[in-house]
Structures are given as structure tokens and as C-alpha cells.
Amino acid sequence: MLQLSNVSKLFNPGTADEKIALIDINLNLNPGDFITVIGSNGAGKSTLMNIISGVMSPDTGEVKIEGNAIHQLPEYKRSRWIGRVFQDPMAGTAPRMTIEENLAMAYARGKQRGLGFGVTSSKRSFFHEQLQRLGIGLESRLRAKVGLLSGGERQALSLLMATFTRPQILLLDEHTAALDPARAELITQLTEDIVREMKLTTLMVTHNMEQAIRLGNRLIMMDKGRIILDVNEQRKKDLTIEQLLGEFEKISGNKLSDDRVVLG
Ligand SMILES: Nc1ncnc2c1ncn2[C@@H]1O[C@H](COP(=O)(O)OP(=O)(O)OP(=O)(O)O)[C@@H](O)[C@H]1O
């Protein structure tokens, strides 16, 4: 479904600020895979997400979706196939627009020009139905400005907007990290339900070790621009946080240095 071959990225090459972000990354996601991504500070997790979504291009290597190379395409063209939810609840939605206007914008994403962002009555009933699935009452607030929503509500809306056109790939970039524990758990639950129901192929960066083990069918660990551990579903089932941190130390020779790590 998603294939990265020999992807490398270096920032500020040849200067004193040179930073290796990704080195020769090879990663293959099968349809329906839900992969959690953990790693140390500066390991390259965000760069990986940025290269897949088109925020930046790799220096070398290829990114393919269903066999088609996409790494030369701009971000807006990839948005037809890729949904993304960011850590910052403000990032995925337009605060001055209403809930239904935001949804109409997401609905038009990647579709042919001319369809417009307008909210027709048939779209409105579709949005109502979709919002109802979230189970947090947003369906009765279709005309409320998004800027008035709480962080958790906004993140739930971002998740819906990123997924309701059924993207080939869903990228979740620490999307629960800015929320309090109760809201984070709600968004995690919604994520699991949506990914399972829609059978979405998903890559999720998290600093929460317990979440990384519990969610999905595969876990990858990154350090200094490389994937240093790839854990399959079978092994992941019995994995503990202590074992995961132990593996990191054994392979990298260092303790996991992640200033935002959440153990459980
Ligand atoms: N735009 C940029 N310009 C220069 N260096 C960058 C840029 N973006 C990332 N880097 C560097 O590339 C490396 C990888 O960064 P990246 O943000 O991908 O790591 P990360 O795993 O997401 O880290 P964290 O968990 O701390 O957010 C780091 O050394 C970082 O400082």
C-alpha cells in the first residue's frame, strides 16, 4: 500500500548545522496495517511523516502508494490519498469557519475542481450522520464556529475530516499528546474505532509507550534517522514497556532519550 525505499533526508548539508534526519529508510505498509512509531528525540519521526505527506521531498529514495511514485508530487495533490492529524488541535481545522464549513472543505479535498466547498442539504445530512458517530454531540452544533470548540472536540473533528473521504493512508502525528488524559483516551478510542471500521492503513507517531504497544498490529522504533526495531503483531501482543525500553538500549547503546515519553 505505502512503500518507502531507500529514503534519506539531510538538513543543511555541508554546514555546521548539518542534521541527519533519515538514513536509507525502507518501510512497507500492507493494506490495513496500523503501525505505531516511537523513538528518541530527533530520531526522524516527524520528518518521516512530512516526507510521506509531501511537506518536504526526500534527498534520495522513493515513496509509493499502491505502486505509484508520489514523492515528486506537492502536498495538496497527495491530500487525495493521505489524511493527517497533527498534535496541535488548531492545526487541522479553520477556527473562524463553522463545523459544517470545515467538513465541506475536507469533503472537497482531492476531488475535481468545481465541486466547491458549499454546504448543500444532502451534504449537511451526511455531515450530521458522520458527526453522530463521534458520540460527543457535535452533530447538533453544525453552525458553531470551530474556534469555540475544546481541544478534544477539535481533535475529534480533525480526525473525522482526515478520514471521512477514506484516505489510502492515515498519518497520526502525536495527535493525542496535547490533550488531558481523559480527552486523549476518548480520541484514542475514536481512532481505534474509525481505523477498524474503515480498515485504514495507518501510521501513528506516539510518545506514549503503553499506547504504542496496545494499538495497531505493528510497532517500529526509530533512532538517529534509522528504523532500529520492527515488531510484528505476534511479538507485540506480549511485549511490556520494560522490554521495549530494554530493546532500545540494547540496539542503540543508549537509554531512550525522549523528553515527552509517557510510560503508561
Ligand atoms: N526543518 C529543519 N531544519 C533543520 N533541521 C531539522 C529540520 N527538521 C528536523 N530537523 C532535524 O532533523 C532531525 C530529525 O528531526 P525530527 O523532527 O524528524 O525528529 P523527531 O523524531 O520527530 O523528534 P521529536 O520526537 O523530538 O519531535 C533532528 O536532528 C532535527 O533537529
pLDDT at 110: 58
Give the CA angle between residues 107, 143, 168 to the nearest 5°.
20
- Model pLDDT for residues 175-198, shown as the tens digit of each residue: 998 888 888 898 999 999 999 999
ipTM score for this prediction: 0.97
Q: How many folded domains does the chain comprise?
A: 1
With a 6 Å cutoff on the Cβ, whether 46 touches ligand 1 is: yes
- Whether 200 maps to a domain, the answer reads yes
Q: What is the CATH number of the domain that holds 59?
A: 3.40.50.300
- Whether 13 maps to a domain, the answer reads yes
- Whether 223 maps to a domain, the answer reads yes
- Whether 72 maps to a domain, the answer reads yes
Q: Give me the chain's average pLDDT, please.
A: 90
- Whether 105 maps to a domain, the answer reads no
With a 6 Å cutoff on the Cβ, whether 37 touches ligand 1 is: no
With a 6 Å cutoff on the Cβ, whether 58 touches ligand 1 is: no
Q: Structural domain of residue 190, as residue ranges?
A: 2-91+148-252
Cα-to-centroid distance, 47 and ligand 1 (Å): 6
Say what angle helices 99-108 and 121-134 make with each other, to 10 degrees.
100
Secondary structure (3-state) at 43: coil
Q: Rounded mean pLDDT of 49-73?
A: 93
For residue 8 the three cell numbers come to 534519506
- Whether 260 maps to a domain, the answer reads no
With a 6 Å cutoff on the Cβ, whether 220 touches ligand 1 is: no
Cα-to-centroid distance, 28 and ligand 1 (Å): 22
Residue 258 — pLDDT band, cuts 50, 70, 90? low
Cα-to-centroid distance, 23 and ligand 1 (Å): 13
Closest CA to 224 of 47, 17, 42: 42
- Whether 129 maps to a domain, the answer reads no
- Amino acid found at 128: H
Per-position b or e across 49-81, b if 16+ CB within 10 A of its CB: bbbbbbeeebeebebebeeeebbebeeeebbbb
With a 6 Å cutoff on the Cβ, whether 240 touches ligand 1 is: no
Cα distances (angstroms) measured from residue 50 to each of 79, 93, 106, 193:
12, 18, 19, 25
- Whether 80 maps to a domain, the answer reads yes
